[in-house]
A and B are shown apart, each in its own frame.
Chain A
């Protein structure tokens, strides 16, 4: 593969950009403009590198590619180990693609504390990319938690009226889950006797199934909160409603996927037996999430909240696909992660655009604005249809594949989940009807401007992708399938024979024995 540390550059360029911004004064207009340009340059550079990685990605190889490895904390067997496969690649592309877009969107929207804002977004990008490429538990955890702080600032500084409450809630929920994962990671370290935090080593050496239950529970809880899987979703509507548009886009577009990615990369293949035992429970929760999210979305008056609840519903599909334990489900899940990022990202951006004009997001305040903002309305309709999963647009491909996988596994889950698709059509179309069409635009809405050039530039790439992935998903599917197949082999293996030096009980010094060991 490549001799250049491409991944390291890609991950740390945004961080570097953020550090450069430390030396830019943003007291005046010119300084703010400089800060915006600098952060855009770094974000675009990361995107370019991710495209290079995409082009150099080998489809005939299911394992990790572009590996880089360096010792970091040898005493604990911790290394800086990064790489990617067909599961992480689409998510990385999504991240590097969305970040410049939200920077562009915020160009005129954010005028308060510009430098800090750009820094938070850039640090956030490094954190997210790091999570997707980390192949060492310690490194993974550092990125996983490190990314909370910029997100926390984004919600808390530039958010709505209840922003502080939402930011703290977001932080505490996520943190509560992830610290338990930390305990599980430490236990895994000592119990397996592997003396390494390398994820690849642990993946190839599954622990005895007697221990898998607790460990899986700790990992899965952390990721389920992030997804968020019903009933751990209560932080999400608050965070989404209060977050600034860019925060919502990143939150829905990428952060939630870190939960499903974590389930896929860590929780399930590390503890395959436990994952299979818990599968029905997860599928039930996923289906509840799909239907519940859709029903709650239906009754929202706030467009943003509606989109937020639709995320709960859509992410339920991803979890359903993963726990179907078949190739269709797994492939569809990865695809759906990307599709949801694109369509929901676009929806949040559109909501942000209308909010910045009208300073309200209430459905009742609008109506008939298709007449005054035709271009906006076209984009809004396309994004909504993509979110619903209309054939020909990207959402359809992922959802259809997942549903096929779920049917394969158990028709009842398939049937129930399909009702979620119907419901999503109900709440989205109903909302569209009330906002864009229903009746004459009110007096104040009649003066709304249609989209400007900058907003065009933000939306066009997203719409191109919606059609592109909807009509011809092969360029991305061909990357996903081999890795999904390899993943499936991992989670389907049986761990009955114990050949590795893995004992059912952790080999730990017994507490209370009164001995003082001095190794």
Chain B
């Protein structure tokens, strides 16, 4: 038996290394220098992320097929690179959000930003591997950071509740995920997706119940992370209880990472599971959309509303996941486009919530937004753009993203699921537009969000930057989708 040292492509590891080193640096800086200078830590975190994004984009230019390092534990293809950029962009935007939320100042800020970077590392690991165990490790790094972040405001009961709930349920989900991986290992003798696929290809007997159960348990574990029904119970409570900046962070990045891992599994191995697996995904997608949208209708708290909305959006992305078998590259590209738009519009919406709260704490009741269209016209108009985009109406990115995903699904032959999805988006229009109703069609009630807190306080430059980036992203991706579409479809081919 010979031992070979697996190949390592160091340049392609660079983005990951930068983020890890950056995370440690942020943590250490805070510890050793006892720096209370939050602005510096924010700037450092942003620089780390921007640098890593730059490196990733740079390495995409001459990336032909992709490289495999550590025997498949780390794969860097265009798909990886795009998801990296996406995850780091989402982290970047949510750091901007956090920079404007002053209440996060209380425990020293260094930990906060270090945790964001560690979580980012975990997400990147999940997205850049074809090894099941690495997916699990990435997921754990992410989850542990998120548990802490969810309860970051330790003096608040709601935050503690959110963190505990998230932790308990998350631990279960991780257990299921690991159990599923063990079963797949049992059925196929490998944790490497390429090996698994090879084994399944040559041994039809291995595609039996153990393999299917393993796959099913993986669906449970990842389904928990993306908040697919029926693994969604934590979402509203955690989204509501966590600080808004954290909610913004966990509504996008972790979803992107978990879906990226999901796509890799589905594209590489799940094809052998046959029609029954597709039926399961079909049903999960259908109920996820419906539960999310119907649940959102009756919410009175904007964070809970956005939580249910994020469940619904997970349902739409599941449609793309389902379509990945049949229209492969197009569905993958659709997913990438969708999650990119989603990052802009969702973080943007949470961002408005943070700014609307001003320095007095959080203002999260939908009623608080009454008449905001006239007391703070700019902020309300921006929020309206995000709502229209979340609802999937043209001419915003949300529409093009849905268009992309639904195209892929129709190409793959899932016409009825698409019919269900579009009817769901009609339901969603009701609650997204309700915010516009409250902002524009109701008179201010006296406790409204006043104009004098518009863009004041510490986070002024961040406020402008974040709102500008997100609005430009949402509108740009809606009006001129051509360039990005070419880019995502180039990024949709996975290395085997």
Question: Would you give the 0/1 interface string for B313-336, flagging 1 where the beta carbon is closer than 8 Å to chain A?
Answer: 000000000001111111000000
User: A141 contacts the other chain (Cβ, under 8 Å)?
Assistant: yes
Are the C-beta atoms of A142 and B485 separated by less than 8 Å?
A: no
How far apart sit A386 and B468, CA to CA, in the bound complex (Å)?
52
B411 touches which of A73, A508, A515 (Cβ 8 Å): A508
Known contacts A72-B482, A146-B393, A186-B410; A171 and B271 CB within 8 A of each other: no
Q: Which residues of A contact B67 (CB under 8 A)?
A: none
Interface of A is mostly: helix
User: B249 contacts the other chain (Cβ, under 8 Å)?
Assistant: no
How far apart sit A179 and B419, CA to CA, in the bound complex (Å)?
8
User: B108 contacts the other chain (Cβ, under 8 Å)?
Assistant: no
A515 touches which of B271, B373, B433 (Cβ 8 Å): B271
Q: Which of A478-519 contact B (CB under 8 A)?
A: 506, 508-519
How far apart sit A517 and B493, CA to CA, in the bound complex (Å)?
11
How far apart sit A164 and B437, CA to CA, in the bound complex (Å)?
7
User: A201 contacts the other chain (Cβ, under 8 Å)?
Assistant: no
Q: Which residues of B contact A378 (CB under 8 A)?
A: none
Segment of B80-88, B149-157, B213-221, B424-432 in the binding face: B424-432
Are the C-beta atoms of A508 and B394 separated by less than 8 Å?
A: no
Are the C-beta atoms of B410 and A149 separated by less than 8 Å?
A: no
Are the C-beta atoms of A175 and B278 separated by less than 8 Å?
A: no
Q: Which residue of B lies closest to A509 (CB)?
A: B326
A142 touches which of B329, B394, B440 (Cβ 8 Å): B394
Q: Which of A276-313 contact B (CB under 8 A)?
A: none
Known contacts A168-B430, A514-B272; A142 and B395 CB within 8 A of each other: yes
A186 touches which of B329, B388, B407, B423 (Cβ 8 Å): B407
Are the C-beta atoms of A146 and B406 separated by less than 8 Å?
A: no
Minimum CB–CB distance for A512 against chain B, Å? 4
Interface centre among A142, A171, A519 (most CB of B within 10 A): A142
Q: Which residue of A lies closest to B416 (CB)?
A: A183
Q: Which residues of A contact B411 (CB under 8 A)?
A: 190, 508-509
User: A163 contacts the other chain (Cβ, under 8 Å)?
Assistant: yes
Q: Which of B379-413 contact A (CB under 8 A)?
A: 388, 393-395, 399, 403, 406-407, 410-413
Question: Would you give the 0/1 interface string for B434-452, flagging 1 where the beta carbon is closer than 8 Å to chain A?
Answer: 0011001100000000000
Q: Which residues of B contact A176 (CB under 8 A)?
A: 423, 426
Q: Which of A129-184 contact B (CB under 8 A)?
A: 138, 141-142, 145-146, 148-149, 152-153, 156-157, 163-164, 167-168, 171-172, 175-176, 179-180, 182-183
How far apart sit A346 and B266, CA to CA, in the bound complex (Å)?
60
A180 touches which of B330, B419, B433, B485 (Cβ 8 Å): B419
Q: Which residue of A lies closest to B428 (CB)?
A: A175
User: A189 contacts the other chain (Cβ, under 8 Å)?
Assistant: yes
Q: Which residues of B contact A472 (CB under 8 A)?
A: none
Q: Which of B245-297 contact A (CB under 8 A)?
A: 267, 271-275, 278
Minimum CB–CB distance for A249 against chain B, Å? 20
Q: Which residue of B lies closest to A139 (CB)?
A: B394
Q: Which residues of B contact A456 (CB under 8 A)?
A: none
A74 touches which of B324, B414, B482 (Cβ 8 Å): B482
Known contacts A75-B489, A168-B430, A190-B411; A511 and B326 CB within 8 A of each other: yes
Q: Which residues of B contact A141 (CB under 8 A)?
A: 394
Are the C-beta atoms of A175 and B374 separated by less than 8 Å?
A: no
Q: Which residues of A contact B493 (CB under 8 A)?
A: 518
User: A474 contacts the other chain (Cβ, under 8 Å)?
Assistant: no
Are the C-beta atoms of B485 and A75 separated by less than 8 Å?
A: yes
Are the C-beta atoms of B426 and A172 separated by less than 8 Å?
A: yes
B325 touches which of A116, A152, A153, A514 (Cβ 8 Å): A514
How far apart sit A508 and B327, CA to CA, in the bound complex (Å)?
9
How far apart sit A291 and B325, CA to CA, in the bound complex (Å)?
52
How far apart sit A52 and B422, CA to CA, in the bound complex (Å)?
40
Known contacts A148-B393, A179-B425, A183-B419; A518 and B328 CB within 8 A of each other: yes
Minimum CB–CB distance for B218 against chain A, Å? 17
Q: Which residues of A contact B482 (CB under 8 A)?
A: 71-75
Minimum CB–CB distance for A244 against chain B, Å? 13
Q: Which residue of B lies closest to A22 (CB)?
A: B381
User: B415 contacts the other chain (Cβ, under 8 Å)?
Assistant: yes
Q: Which residue of A lies closest to B269 (CB)?
A: A516
User: A113 contacts the other chain (Cβ, under 8 Å)?
Assistant: yes
Minimum CB–CB distance for A150 against chain B, Å? 11
Q: Which residue of B lies closest to A147 (CB)?
A: B394
Q: Which of A93-128 contact B (CB under 8 A)?
A: 113, 116
Are the C-beta atoms of B433 and A519 separated by less than 8 Å?
A: no
How far apart sit A149 and B275, CA to CA, in the bound complex (Å)?
41
Minimum CB–CB distance for A342 against chain B, Å? 30
Q: Which residues of B contact A72 (CB under 8 A)?
A: 482
How far apart sit A145 and B393, CA to CA, in the bound complex (Å)?
7
Q: Which residues of A contact B373 (CB under 8 A)?
A: 113, 116
Q: Which residues of B contact A514 (CB under 8 A)?
A: 271-275, 325
Q: Which residues of A contact B395 (CB under 8 A)?
A: 142, 146
User: B106 contacts the other chain (Cβ, under 8 Å)?
Assistant: no
B278 touches which of A113, A142, A149, A511 (Cβ 8 Å): A511
Minimum CB–CB distance for A217 against chain B, Å? 12
A168 touches which of B272, B394, B410, B433 (Cβ 8 Å): B433
Question: Would you give the 0/1 interface string for B110-128, flagging 1 where the beta carbon is closer than 8 Å to chain A?
Answer: 0000000000000000000
B485 touches which of A73, A146, A148, A187 (Cβ 8 Å): A73
How far apart sit A509 and B411, CA to CA, in the bound complex (Å)?
7
Q: Which residue of B lies closest to A72 (CB)?
A: B482
Q: Which residues of B contact A511 (CB under 8 A)?
A: 278, 325-326, 412-414
Q: Which residues of A contact B433 (CB under 8 A)?
A: 152, 168, 171
User: B353 contacts the other chain (Cβ, under 8 Å)?
Assistant: no
B440 touches which of A153, A172, A518 (Cβ 8 Å): A153
Minimum CB–CB distance for A247 against chain B, Å? 13
Known contacts A142-B395, A508-B412, A510-B326; A175 and B429 CB within 8 A of each other: yes
Minimum CB–CB distance for B394 against chain A, Å? 4
How far apart sit A113 and B422, CA to CA, in the bound complex (Å)?
34
User: A76 contacts the other chain (Cβ, under 8 Å)?
Assistant: yes
Q: Which residues of B contact A163 (CB under 8 A)?
A: 441
Are the C-beta atoms of A182 and B326 separated by less than 8 Å?
A: no
How far apart sit A148 and B393, CA to CA, in the bound complex (Å)?
9
Are the C-beta atoms of B423 and A179 separated by less than 8 Å?
A: yes
User: B360 contacts the other chain (Cβ, under 8 Å)?
Assistant: no
User: B486 contacts the other chain (Cβ, under 8 Å)?
Assistant: yes
How far apart sit A168 and B391, CA to CA, in the bound complex (Å)?
14
Known contacts A74-B482, A113-B374, A168-B433; A183 and B406 CB within 8 A of each other: yes
Known contacts A163-B441, A516-B271, A519-B328; A76 and B414 CB within 8 A of each other: no
Q: Which residue of A lies closest to B378 (CB)?
A: A22
Q: Which residues of B contact A113 (CB under 8 A)?
A: 373-374
Are the C-beta atoms of A187 and B393 separated by less than 8 Å?
A: no
Q: Which residues of B contact A510 (CB under 8 A)?
A: 326, 413
How far apart sit A489 and B139, CA to CA, in the bound complex (Å)?
62
Interface centre among B275, B407, B412, B441 (most CB of A within 10 A): B441
Q: Which residues of A contact B485 (CB under 8 A)?
A: 73, 75-76
Hey, which bits of chain B sit against chain A, CB under 8 A?
Answer: 267, 271-275, 278, 324-330, 373-374, 388, 393-395, 399, 403, 406-407, 410-415, 418-419, 422-423, 425-426, 429-430, 433, 436-437, 440-441, 481-482, 485-486, 489, 493
Known: A180-B422, A508-B410. 16 other contacts (CB 8 A): A75-B482, A116-B440, A142-B394, A142-B395, A152-B436, A171-B433, A172-B430, A175-B426, A182-B403, A183-B410, A190-B411, A508-B411, A509-B413, A514-B271, A514-B274, A519-B328
Nearest 10 pairs of A and B residues by beta carbon: A179-B422, A142-B394, A512-B275, A511-B413, A509-B326, A156-B441, A508-B413, A516-B271, A186-B410, A518-B328
Hey, which bits of chain A sit against chain B, CB under 8 A?
Answer: 71-76, 113, 116, 138, 141-142, 145-146, 148-149, 152-153, 156-157, 163-164, 167-168, 171-172, 175-176, 179-180, 182-183, 186-187, 189-190, 506, 508-519
- Listed A/B pairs (12) with beta-carbon separation below 8 Å: A72-B482, A75-B489, A138-B403, A145-B394, A153-B436, A164-B441, A176-B423, A509-B327, A509-B413, A510-B413, A513-B326, A515-B325
